[in-house]
Structure 1
Amino acid sequence: MELEGTVLRGRAFDPIEGRVVVEDGEIVSIEETTTDSGDVILPAFVNAHTHLGDSIAKEAGGGLTLEELVAPPDGLKHRLLDAADRAELVEGMTRSLRFMQATGTSTCIEFREGGVPGVEMIEDAASGVDLDPVVLGRETADAMRASDGFGASGANDAEFEHERRATREAGKLFGIHAGEVDSTDIDAALDLDPDFLVHMVHPEPYQLDRVDDSEVPIVLCPRSNVVTDVGLPPAGELAERTTLALGTDNVMTNSPSMFREMAFAAKLLDLPAEDVLRMATVNGAEIAGLNRGVVAEGRDAKLLVLDGDSDNLTGARDVVRAVVRRAGQGDIKRVLL
């Protein structure tokens, strides 16, 4: 298979005119050559933080605080999940996975509520789509063993030493929310030596130094932070210290569109377009240990093809900036997963 057009090659997304050659699901070569195609070829997205279970409750709870919305065990989200039957939950997650696939996402890192049954539900939901979620079980070590790792709530909510030890022994991924509402849970989260943190809206200066020392990656979810009124992360300061990725968080409050998340992050956090595109692709892939997220030889061919001649994108002087700040579902020609 050959894809031709403007190729956003490598981690720097250098735009070259040429073709990408794919064999058996792998990028085998990238050739610079003249083409007649206006297509733009880039890596498919990696949504590095999702909660898909609340797909059944989109736009519920407007005006509630973060704690009232999602804090376990009595937040609105958890009450709605408890009241829903299994078929409804699986259907909701399937629809969100289909939407992500249609909007150019190759995988997501899902913090999956409900213990082992919750893990089994998203496995059922994913069976009918090409998107392959990285599932982090929650609540029990058994859920971790049944999935790809453990996704912890904030360290103020519970002690996670047992789950962290079990996850490390299993050689699996451990992520934890930290610093979403305030800084009080950040030190305890860092003490667990996690594979990544989520949110980090409110780090103290010395905690930024701890991040620098540990180089722990951080997943930012800026649209979610605005909706729940907790503020915005100090993205520039964090980017100076560690690797950043991008996630859409709860489907309850935001659509799982990486196009929307990228545009929001680029404009509101004042980050360079190339940095934001890395956050939405290769950085999330590397957190999850996946061989994707970049157009390079030897990488998995999880690719997105945009119509550079669409009414929305034609005339773009900076292709990467246009992809990050302007492109959307209507510009997609093909999602290769």
Structure 2
Amino acid sequence: MQLEGTILRGREFAPVEGRVVVEDGEITAVEEASIDTDQIILPAFVNAHTHIGDSIAKEAGAGLSLDELVAPPDGLKHQLLREASREELVAAMRRSLSFMERAGTGAFLEFREGGVSGVEAIEAALDGLAIEGVILGRETIDAMAAADGFGASGARDGEFGAERSATREAGKLFGIHAGERDSDDVNPALDLDPDFLVHMVHLDAIHYERLDDEGTPVVLCPRSNLVTDAGVAPARELFDRTTVALGTDNVFLNSPSMFREMEFAAKLYDVSAREVLQMATVAGAEIAGLDAGVIEPGREARLLVLDGDSDNLAGAEDVVRAVVRRAGVDDVTDVLLAN
């Protein structure tokens, strides 16, 4: 099959008129050509940090502190998850996943509560969908063994050492929250040599020095951080030091729309539209070890097509800026996800 339009090609998303040729789920060619369409073709998004189980209670907990909302084991989120039946949980997650797929997200990295049963529940929710889940189990080593890795809450001294060792031995991903409430857990998190860190809002000089030396990737969740009063991450300083990706975090706090997250990030952080699009695509793919996030021959065909002549996008003079700051779900005409 062929897709024609303005192609946002490569890591820099250089706009090229032409066609993308896809065979057996792989991009086999990107051809420059004169075309008669206003479509915009870009990589499908990679949402680099989600808690999809929160779909059971959207907009719950208004006015609560960060710890009251999400801290294990008795934060509101964990109470609601314990109270929900498996059927309720799977149905709510599936609706969020279906929305994410329709809104151009091709893959996501999930911190999945509930141990092994939680991992099994989201696998059930994913059944039959094209969106790809990289699932990180939580709470137990058994959950990690049943999943694609382990997703840890914030570390304090001595925490998660056994889980990190087991995850490393299994050759799986280890991600951890850090610097969301304060900077006290950043060094303990870095000491675990994680594959990536989530949030990194509160940082001290030593943390920048360690990132300079270690280059540990970071996932930012700007809308979530403002909702919970965590603050604003130093995105420019992080982007200059390491790989930075973008995630929507808890579904009960924010819609899992990467369009909304990109627009918010572009208007909040001191980063360019092109850098935000990298955060929403190739950066998350690299953290997750996925062959996605870039339109080039040889890559998996995980593509998003927008109507550049929609009432929202018509007349845009800077295509990348328009995609990041203006586009939305209503502009999507096609989502092609090879799996």
Same fold (TM over 0.5): yes
* Equivalent residue, structure 1, for 2:26: 26
* Equivalent residue, structure 2, for 1:175: 175
C-alpha distance in 2, partners of 1:52/1:128? 17
* Equivalent residue, structure 2, for 1:251: 251
Alignment map for 1:132-147 (pairs within 5 Å): 132-147=132-147
Alignment map for 1:158-307 (pairs within 5 Å): 159-307=159-307
Alignment map for 1:82-121 (pairs within 5 Å): 82-121=82-121
Give per-residue Cα distances to partners, 1:277-298, cap 9 Å, x unaligned: 0000000000000001110111
With structure 2 as the length reference, what TM-score do the two structures score? 0.98
Task: Give structure 2 stretches of 5+ with no counterpart.
Answer: none
**Matched residue of 2:132: which SS?**
coil
**1:94/1:128 contact within 8 Å kept:** no
C-alpha distance in 1, partners of 2:157/2:297? 44
Q: 1:249 to 1:158 in 2, by over 3 A?
A: farther
C-alpha distance in 2, partners of 1:158/1:151? 16
C-alpha distance in 1, partners of 2:64/2:247? 21
**Matched residue of 1:241: which SS?**
coil
- The Cα of 1:256 is off from its aligned counterpart by 0.2
Give per-residue Cα distances to partners, 1:70-119, cap 9 Å, x unaligned: 00111111111111111000011101100100100001100000110000
What count of residue pairs does the alignment treat as equivalent? 337
- The Cα of 1:128 is off from its aligned counterpart by 2.9
C-alpha distance in 1, partners of 2:162/2:108? 25
With structure 1 as the length reference, what TM-score do the two structures score? 0.99
C-alpha distance in 2, partners of 1:282/1:158? 33
Task: Give structure 1 stretches of 5+ with no counterpart.
Answer: none
C-alpha distance in 2, partners of 1:263/1:270? 13
C-alpha distance in 1, partners of 2:174/2:230? 24
State the one-letter code of the partner of 1:167: T
Structure 1 stretches of 4+ with a deviation exceeding 4 A read none
C-alpha distance in 2, partners of 1:270/1:187? 25
- The Cα of 1:9 is off from its aligned counterpart by 0.4
C-alpha distance in 2, partners of 1:315/1:132? 33
* Equivalent residue, structure 2, for 1:5: 5
State the one-letter code of the partner of 1:208: Y
- The Cα of 1:240 is off from its aligned counterpart by 1.0
C-alpha distance in 2, partners of 1:60/1:151? 23
- Determine what percentage of the aligned residue pairs are the same residue: 69
Give per-residue Cα distances to partners, 1:34-84, cap 9 Å, x unaligned: 000110000000000000111011000001000000001111111111111
